[in-house]
Amino acid sequence: MRIPSIPPRRRALAMLGALAAASATPVHVAARDALEPTPRDAEGPFYPRRLPADIDADLTRIEGRATLARGEILYLTGRVFATDGRPLAGAKVELWQCDSLGRYHHVDDDPGVLDPGFQGYGVARADAEGRYAFQTIRPVPYGGRPPHLHVKLAHASAQPLTSQLYPRGESSERGTGFGLSGREARSRLEFTLAPAPGREPGALAATYDFVLRLR
């Protein structure tokens, strides 16, 4: 039986298709780790032992109270990505910090004097583009520690992340204890403070993007 010959053009197209199929998996694997994951940092002893009734993304006011938080207003925004570059829609971003008096709220011990207008803890959900936003206060130092924000992130397709963020140039600590050099780890957990145009007088703005490892 005579086997029909394949025209040269068709053979070339078939070869190109085979090459594309063969390369698809390696390219995907390489892209999985295209972005460097955000470094981890210690949770610290002050994650709330009980969550407040008001847990929205605005920590500067508590529902039902007229008093606003003391301190400089900070608008923190950014995006949440996976290491393959995809925005993680619906990612849960938790943020907590001490108030302007250096006290943590909702820790069920003797916190001393608290700022009654500060929420202390809040949650934001990333939108379809991975964007999140918080309204809080500029972090302040306390007990020998530099100013910092505590964060915890979760998403169904990514590994959870617990870390801390630091205003650039305001930290003298070295190292985080998670395997990265102090300078490298700290520089990757820093955000830059800048005036917030169109907001309250004296308000600040900062941007920080998180990258989570895929499961």
Q: With cut-offs at 50, 70 and 90, classify the pLDDT of residue 29.
A: very low
Outline where DSSP puts E strands in 31-148. 73-82, 92-96, 121-125, 131-137
The tens digit of pLDDT for each residue in 45-77 reads 799 999 999 999 999 999 999 999 999 999 999
What are the strands, taking DSSP E only, across 34-157? 73-82, 92-96, 121-125, 131-137, 149-155
Chain position carrying tokens 């709330």: 48
Return phi, psi of residue 26, to 5°.
-60, -40
**What domains appear along the chain, each with residue ranges and CATH number?**
35-212 (2.60.130.10)
Q: Residue 83 pLDDT > 60, yes or no?
A: yes
When computed from its CA atoms, the radius of gyration of the chain, rounded to whole angstroms, is 23
CA-closest candidate to residue 124, choices 116, 140, 136: 136
Long-range contacts of 202-206 (CB under 8 A, 24+ apart): 202/72, 202/73, 203/72, 203/73, 203/74, 203/75, 204/72, 204/73, 204/74, 204/75, 204/138, 205/74, 205/75, 205/76, 205/77, 206/74, 206/75, 206/76, 206/77, 206/167
Partners of 14 in the β-ladder: none
Average pLDDT over residues 152-178: 83
196 burial type by CB count under 10 A (0-12 exposed, 13-18 middle, 19+ buried): middle
Range scoring the smallest mean pLDDT among 55-69, 124-138, 140-154, 181-195: 181-195
The confidence score (pLDDT) of residue 182 equals 64
Strand partners, 214: 158
Q: Is the pLDDT of residue 5 over 70?
A: no
